[in-house]
Amino acid sequence: MIALLKNLLSQIARIAVCAFAPIVALRHANDRWQRWGVIAIHVVAALVGIAALGYVQYALQLDTLVRSSLPMVRLTWLPLVACLLYAIAWSAWFVAHTLRMPAEKPLGGGIHSAWQDSLHRFTAAGIDVSRTPLYLVLGSPAGGVRDFFSASHTDLVVLPSAEEADQPIQVCGNRDAIYVCCREASLTGNFTRRAAASRQKLLETMGSDGAPSIPREPAHVWQSSDAATATSQSPTFAASAYGAAEPSFGAASETGTQAATATLSRPASADGMPVDRMNEAFDHIETLTADDTDRSAKPVTILQPRTAKLPMMRLEQSEALELLERLDGLCREIAEVRQPFCPINGVVLMLPLDAADCIETADHVGMRIERDLNTIAAATQSSVSAQVIFCDLELCDGGQALLDRFPETQRHRRLGAILPAPPASEPDAGPASVDRAVRWICDELFPPLAYRLMARNLQDAAQDRILRQGNHAIHRVVDTMRQRRDGMSRLLRRSIAATAGNVRLRGCFVAATGAAGATKHAFAEGVMPQILDIQNEVQWLPQRRQRDRWQRRAAAAIYASVAITTCAVLTYLLGWHAAN
């Protein structure tokens, strides 16, 4: 009984809140039917209150207190006063709500001036910014966005500003599309820019200091501690072992062909201790890889460690908020210029390929992309598609060797996968398609393509060594792509994890966008048609469509009420004039 009474009192309190504080009730409404219920209860309560005031006036004969030549005013003056007070209350709430709204902050960091300058340049070129498809570009290759458009052979009517100008945004395009590159107006652009600077600094350091010689201790976990001669022989042994793992191709050898086909025979002492058999095996490797008298004076090539992975480039919270505010302000300025159309037609993500080298970095970059995409969706109030391009293939280990052997007539093709549009009824379809696409690119696309480029020349030992060196480099590309599979998948899945379907990934591609001319350009030209194909995959978010419906209904209701009131007043005045 007590529970029933509490439930009844709770329902009465909710009805009272809906009747006398509809704004508070609307804030707690979960769906459209609850909102309509709140509005209906409030309207009924207002009508009942006005009717009650009319009955009070009639019962107490309050019409005698008002002197007016209009009988209708004398009979309904108390309900009319209540209607005026009700209208004044709503007007006061709207004024207070408007005054509490935060003032729009001017765009800082030179974004406003850069955007206005871009508008003037497009207007001078005869391009209508409000009707031309517009794409937001997050991130850039190591050499800048100019390298990408140069690699894709895109004829730009309006060129982007130079990298040395240090503009926060770069706007370029032609009559087919406009590209707004957010260099310092997004978390992703900030990461790619800092990563490129860090990579360039690392290359300069390595170029000035030379290849660092890293001493390595022998990993002889099977050696006994009482072997007195092991320590003194370990440097030579380690050098020979690493030299056997990656042979040097610097000079020709008369026995090059024979060494290439040599096989490792079983050690003679197969019945000895495991330690002795392992030592004999490594001694046998040293005899197979020993240099002749002409090459004995040259230093032994030691296998160097892989280049350091890209750091995560962590951000301070204040800097991250500032970049997101810039992106939000830029999107709102674009929306203001492109009214009544959708602000943007798509998003292009240009990421360094080595951002997927490790899971930690991939997760960090995915977090940056996720926050950028959520900011774009909230500011533009639209749902768009995105294309992902992993750039700088030529900078990866063995990438230039792959490009050198790739036919120039085939470099205009795209290298990647087109993702299907995920259905709205299957929320897990997007991440699943990303996993399949990344697995196909890393495991089924790159290996066959790379193996076709490998070659040998058994007739010429010197040429064969050069070819084998290139084969090793190409194989490293295949190996690193397989290692990047989990990182790429994690990065892309994280980027769309919290977008609630507002941003759809429609393609994942790999491209070489180097700045050294055609020798470092490949696979970017085939991506441009895919970018232009997603321009119609844009729509307003449900919140924006609902707001538009409310505005249309409110406008229709206001016009109808004004028309009805005007007709009623005119009818009453004409009747009163005819009666007198």
Instruction: Name the more confident of 274 and 224.
Output: 274
List, in order, residues 6 or more apart from 568 with CB less than 8 Å away.
none
Q: In total, how many domains does the chain have?
A: 2
pLDDT for 312 equals: 54
* pLDDT tens readout for residues 162-198: 766 678 899 999 999 999 999 889 999 999 988 888 8
Under DSSP, the state recorded for 226 is T
Final residue in a domain of this structure, among 58, 81, 102: 102
Note whether 330 and 182 are within 8 A (CB): yes
Q: Are residues 29 and 140 in the same domain?
A: no
Distance CA 492, CA 431 (A): 8
Q: Are residues 447 and 520 in the same domain?
A: yes
Residue from 156, 153, 146, 210 nearest 181 by CA: 146
Note whether 334 and 292 are within 8 A (CB): no
pLDDT for 265 equals: 39
For the chain, what percent of residues have pLDDT higher than 70? 78
Final residue in a domain of this structure, among 53, 78, 102: 102
Cα distances from 504 to residues 252, 426, 507, 514, in angstroms, run 54, 13, 9, 28
Q: Are residues 82 and 119 in the same domain?
A: no
Note whether 514 and 394 are within 8 A (CB): yes
Q: Are residues 354 and 500 in the same domain?
A: yes
**How confident is the model over 113-117, as a mean pLDDT?**
90
pLDDT for 196 equals: 85
Residue from 372, 312, 379 nearest 185 by CA: 372
**How confident is the model over 276-283, as a mean pLDDT?**
54
Please indicate, yes or no, if residue 399 is contained in any of the structural domains: yes
Please indicate, yes or no, if residue 248 is contained in any of the structural domains: no
Number of neighbours of residue 464 by Cβ within 10 angstroms: 20
Please indicate, yes or no, if residue 187 is contained in any of the structural domains: yes
Q: How confident is the model at residue 33 (pLDDT cuts 50, 70, 90)?
A: confident
Q: Are residues 328 and 417 in the same domain?
A: yes
Domain ranges, residue 28: 2-102
Q: What are phi and psi of 229, to 5 degrees?
A: -90, -5
* pLDDT tens readout for residues 218-247: 333 333 334 333 333 333 323 333 333 333
Please indicate, yes or no, if residue 136 is contained in any of the structural domains: yes
Note whether 153 and 108 are within 8 A (CB): no
Q: Are residues 59 and 120 in the same domain?
A: no
Q: How confident is the model at residue 308 (pLDDT cuts 50, 70, 90)?
A: very low
Q: Are residues 409 and 390 in the same domain?
A: yes
Question: What's the one-letter identity of residue 497?
Answer: A
Q: What is the mean pLDDT of the chain?
A: 79
Distance CA 322, CA 20 (A): 41
Half-sphere exposure of 533 (CA within 13 A, CB side): 12
Q: Are residues 33 and 91 in the same domain?
A: yes
**How confident is the model over 414-425, as a mean pLDDT?**
86
Q: Are residues 141 and 179 in the same domain?
A: yes
Please indicate, yes or no, if residue 224 is contained in any of the structural domains: no
Q: Are residues 321 and 430 in the same domain?
A: yes
Please indicate, yes or no, if residue 282 is contained in any of the structural domains: no
Final residue in a domain of this structure, among 72, 102, 132: 102
Note whether 298 and 251 are within 8 A (CB): yes
Please indicate, yes or no, if residue 221 is contained in any of the structural domains: no
In this model, does residue 578 exceed pLDDT 60? yes
Distance CA 270, CA 264 (A): 14
List, in order, residues 6 or more apart from 163 with CB less than 8 Å away.
143, 144, 146
**How confident is the model over 17-34, as a mean pLDDT?**
82
Please indicate, yes or no, if residue 250 is contained in any of the structural domains: no
Q: Are residues 67 and 128 in the same domain?
A: no
pLDDT for 7 equals: 84
Q: Are residues 385 and 479 in the same domain?
A: yes
